[in-house]
Amino acid sequence: MMLPILEIKNLKKSFGSNEVLKGVDFAVYPGEIIGYIGTNGAGKSTTVKMILGLLKPDSGEITIFGKPLIQNETVYKNRIGYVPENADLYETLTAEEYFLFVGQLYGLNESDIQQKSFAMMAAMKIESAFRNRLSTFSKGMRQKVLIISSLLHNPDILFWDEPLNGLDANSVLVIKELLAQLKMEGKTIFYSSHIMDTVEKLSDRILILNNGQIVADGPFNEIRHEAEGTLEDLFNELTGFDEQQQLAQDFVQAMKGEDSDA
Ligand SMILES: Nc1ncnc2c1ncn2[C@@H]1O[C@H](COP(=O)(O)OP(=O)(O)OP(=O)(O)O)[C@@H](O)[C@H]1O
């Protein structure tokens, strides 16, 4: 049987008294597209940051490329592409300068970086801004810059936190197609998104994180069991959400300065 490219065992993390991850377990196999979903604040970004070595787990094991995370530290980063949920771009740099900076961190040479990043920007239809400062980029353009910089060094596994953030409908189609083509290239993709119909259609396997643990793990057809509904229905059911009307009413009452019990 194929060995996992990434394995997480009993991962725990608290911030003060906030127990975010209470024992997370999952394995990812080479070539899989994994959709990692959960409510706001569930701990998705926290999980990814620990896999990337940006945050220290309280306990548990992370094995990546067959080795415990710590031992891997220096080598494995070249094989990973990361799109963070929120990134501070270097506003005063142009896109070209930013890609040169990132690419050189990965040991790429200048002309390769320029050629590749320009072509990738062209594929995303933003090449006319190649020499413009990032401070002038729109939200969607910034997201495209992050996606490009995660792929410049042709990594084996991608961690994309909310890759569709701020992208227009045409660009979402390009990213969906890109994910499918990266999979055909043998890449492994671990991404989180709140856009349920995309996750439903695009993921080989879906992991649902709720209350600090994985409550569903499998292809959509398997985790939906007999149910007829969409991933959105399943997500709402598993994360215990049926109070949208009441919450919206409470919100409007609060806005109007009325007592919610009135
Ligand atoms: N550095 C930190 N210090 C304190 N608390 C933190 C820190 N980072 C994250 N948290 C808390 O951990 C919880 C999980 O946050 P995380 O960003 O992982 O959620 P998420 O699932 O990615 O949410 P979203 O869907 O809103 O992006 C939240 O309650 C958050 O406030």
ipTM: 0.97
18 lines ligand 1 (CB under 6 A): yes
**What tokens appear for 26 in the block?**
């999952």
Q: Whose C-alpha lies nearest to ligand 1, atom 4?
A: 15
User: Would you place residue 9 in the very low, low, confident or very high pLDDT band (cuts 50, 70, 90)?
Assistant: very high
14 lines ligand 1 (CB under 6 A): no
User: Would you place residue 252 in the very low, low, confident or very high pLDDT band (cuts 50, 70, 90)?
Assistant: confident
Per-residue pLDDT of 37-51, as tens digits, reads 999 999 999 999 999
Q: Whose C-alpha lies nearest to ligand 1, atom 16?
A: 43
Report the alpha-carbon distance of residue 95 to residue 149 in Å, rounded.
10
Q: How many Å lie between the centroid of ligand 1 and the Cα of residue 26?
A: 20
Q: What are the backbone dihedrals phi and psi of residue 243, each rounded to the nearest 5 degrees, phi first? A: -115, 25
Q: Confirm if 37 and 188 have CB atoms less than 8 A apart.
A: no
46 lines ligand 1 (CB under 6 A): yes
DSSP 8-state symbol, 256: T
* pLDDT recorded at residue 254: 87
* pLDDT recorded at residue 2: 83
Report the alpha-carbon distance of residue 118 to residue 121 in Å, rounded.
5
**What tokens appear for 256 in the block?**
């109007």
* pLDDT recorded at residue 38: 93
Query: Which region among 96-100, 105-109, 181-185, 242-246 has the lowest average model confidence (pLDDT)?
Result: 242-246
